[in-house]
Amino acid sequence: MVDGGYFPRQRSQLRRVHEERAVGLFYGQRALAIGALAPLNFVGTMEHSKHRLTPFNRLAHTGKWFETVFFGTRAEADRVLGAVRRMHEQVNGVLPEDAGPFAAGTPYSATDPALMLWTIAVMADSAEVFYELLVRRLREHERESLWQDYVRFGELFGMPREAAPAGYREFRAYWAERMDSRDLVLTEEARYVGRATAFEIPMPPAFQPAKRVHDLIMLGSLPPRVRELYGLPWTPVHAVAFRATVGALRAARPLAPAPIARGWNTRFFDGVAATERRRISHGKPTPQIVG
């Protein structure tokens, strides 16, 4: 019997979405940039991170782990899930200082259902956004299926199902409420790390010519509230260039051979981590936080 993993290709909308390379190469950066707006999530992650000086190694490592859960066999996924659960058990503490409406001493935990939901939500929203920008619009039943797969994804990492919005419409209502919430704030560190994650990713030399396109797509994909909080400029010229760029890429997508358009992104993730290591070894600047 073929082991299709937790998200078999024939039945899983999540897998169909994430197998699109255009989604896999963008969604993680956007999710982390938006996710950094939740102080309890961000501070908890950074206070217990082993990659504070190498944030892109962490990004690449996380991307590979998630793709193993998306695309791997159940045995492969279970190894990742077990490792993440063990890490999450260690992530608990209190805010060391005030962060927006959250006072110093506010507790956080990686196993808090509300914090887990936020992590899943920024991933689900980012995957949907890039699929619709760069591949095609999803139908309503596909959006519903994608959200239900993401709830299942959250459950695999320990999120109680009842902590998540029951359906796609409820998820969108939750998302709209969060985007308007005063609870979304940036600490000084979050502003630096979130912006660097989105726009300063270390790419190998061969990918440098594409960086301006990458940065424009990332900028245009962010919700207006998020751009405002980061202080990112967005002009009519940006908007015209963004629409033209994503339109051209979406039109070209059907012409790309399947191995180029779809699949795992391991070699790209490894390339980012290797570039960061090489820059650090040569004393060249790389976005990093010294804590």
DSSP string, 4-58: --SS-TTT-HHHHHHTBHHHHTTHHHHHHHHHTTSHHHHHHHHHT-S-TT-HHHH
- How far is the C-alpha of 205 from the C-alpha of 275, rounded, in Å? 9
Contact of 13 with 146, CB cutoff 8 Å = yes
- How far is the C-alpha of 74 from the C-alpha of 109, rounded, in Å? 27
Counting residues of the chain whose pLDDT is more than 90, the rounded percentage is: 75
Work out how many domains the chain is built from and give that number.
1
Q: What is the pLDDT of residues 140-187, one digit of tens each?
A: 999 999 999 999 999 999 999 999 999 999 999 999 999 999 999 999
Contact of 203 with 185, CB cutoff 8 Å = no
Q: Is 8 inside a domain boundary? A: no
Nearest Cα neighbor of 35 from 99, 108, 113, 121 is 121
Q: Which residues are CB-neighbours of 111 under 8 A, at least 6 positions away?
A: 88, 89, 92, 158
Find where tokens 């590979």 sit: 64
pLDDT bin (cut points 50, 70, 90) of residue 288 is: low
Query: At residue 216, does pLDDT exceed 50?
Result: yes
Q: Which residues are CB-neighbours of 239 under 8 A, at least 6 positions away?
A: 220
205 versus 157: the higher-pLDDT residue is 157
Using the Cα atoms of residue 274, residue 275, residue 279 and residue 285 in order, give the sign of their dihedral.
Answer: negative
Q: What does pLDDT average to over the chain?
A: 92
Query: At residue 291, does pLDDT exceed 50?
Result: no
pLDDT for position 1: 52
Q: Is 6 inside a domain boundary? A: no
Q: Is 269 inside a domain boundary? A: yes
pLDDT bin (cut points 50, 70, 90) of residue 2 is: low
Q: What is the pLDDT of residues 41-94, one digit of tens each?
A: 999 998 887 766 777 888 899 999 999 999 999 999 999 999 999 999 999 999
Residues in the chain: 291
pLDDT bin (cut points 50, 70, 90) of residue 24 is: very high
Q: Which domain holds residue 58?
A: 13-281
Query: At residue 230, does pLDDT exceed 50?
Result: yes
Q: Is 287 inside a domain boundary? A: no
- How far is the C-alpha of 48 from the C-alpha of 95, rounded, in Å? 12
Q: Is 52 inside a domain boundary? A: yes
Encoding tokens for residue 66?
């998630």
Q: Is 4 inside a domain boundary? A: no
Contact of 179 with 95, CB cutoff 8 Å = no
Q: Is-above-0.85 flag for pTM?
A: yes
Contact of 140 with 153, CB cutoff 8 Å = no
Q: What is the pLDDT of residues 244-286, one digit of tens each?
A: 999 999 999 999 988 889 999 998 888 888 888 888 888 876 6
